Amino acid sequence: MKKIIIAFTLLAAITTGCRTTKDTTVTPSSGTTITSNQNQQEALDQRLSMLVNTQGNWNMMQVGGNVKVGGIKSLSSSMQMRMIRDKAIYISLRPMLGIEVGKIVITSDSVLVVDKYHKRYIAEPMSLITNGIPVTVGNLQDIFLGRSFVLGQGTMGRNNSKDCTLVHDGTNYRLAPKQQPKDFTYGFTYDENNKILAVEVTPVKGNLKPYKATYSDVKLEAMAGNIAHHVDVKANVGGTAFTLALDLKDITWSGDFTIDLTKPASGYKRMSANQITSILEGGN
């Protein structure tokens, strides 16, 4: 169970580093920023439109895969994931013979973590992982799939691309929302073929640590557009450095399924939010 908890904690940490936001226009330390040159502006506007077009619409998805976590201990397991767009994420850990030993269910207002092996669970409001930041279920889904987004709004698209700044940085392109949190900035890197390479979180003050997710094996899916089938995350959680490698296999973008939101029946021990450390450490 601790495998998938750590994995999710790392991904959630990318978007939950502070509590307040402010308007600021991001300019990278290197690269050419947008200038008044009309030709350059038109080229960047066209590029931004192309990036928007790579992020298609989807409603439901199912996928299998593997997750590997490195840190104090090296962990590996197969997993299954289901998502209902902007509504719910279900992650099932299945290390042996396809048998589920634990699951995480995230909705717009709640987080349910079930450890079937130790017969215990955590059921808390979404604030357990958002830390007061307007992170949506859709934002978390975008992190898993390798899609750019505007924090608290949704996937970057025609309706909010005007709220982003695109700059040409060498052979790559950097995309960042204009409205940035107070204590860190975040942005996305694309290659010249409009495939996402990374999302980076850079602290600007305090004791926050940088986070980075890099993407590869980006494939065009008929319904959803470009989707990263491999994700590598480097992060620092609780003062400990962790790495995560996530491989997605056999994605389907349709299906008739529901996500069970019910809490476990009798026989399971409910744990408090501050006891999540016990699960992370694999304790009883």
- Domain residue limits, the chain: 2-259
Contact 6, 71 (CB under 8 A): yes
Structure tokens at 142: 């975008």
Reported as a pLDDT band with limits 50, 70 and 90, residue 138 is very high
Q: How far apart are the C-alpha atoms of 21 and 226, rounded to whole Å?
A: 29
What is the length of the chain?
Answer: 284
Confidence (pLDDT) at 131: 60
Q: Confidence band (pLDDT; 50, 70, 90) for 204?
A: confident
DSSP class of 192: T
Q: What phi and psi values does residue 3 have, to the nearest 5 degrees?
A: -60, -55
What is the arithmetic mean of pLDDT over 32-50? 75
User: Of the candidates 20, 50, 45, 21, which has an alpha carbon nearest to the alpha carbon of residue 165?
Assistant: 45
Mean pLDDT over residues 69-85, rounded? 81
Given a cut of 50, whether residue 8 has pLDDT beyond it is: no
Report d(CA 169, CA 217) in Å as an integer.
22
Q: Mean pLDDT, to the nearest integer, of 135-145?
A: 89
Strand partners, 33: none
Residue 159 pLDDT grade (very low, low, confident, very high; cuts 50, 70, 90): confident
Q: Which of 117, 70, 122 is nearest to 242 (CA)?
A: 70
Residue 95 is predicted with a pLDDT of 81
Q: Indicate the CATH number for domain 2-259.
A: 2.50.20.10
**pLDDT averaged over every residue in the chain:** 80
pLDDT surpassing 50 at residue 221: yes
Which residue type sits at 51? L
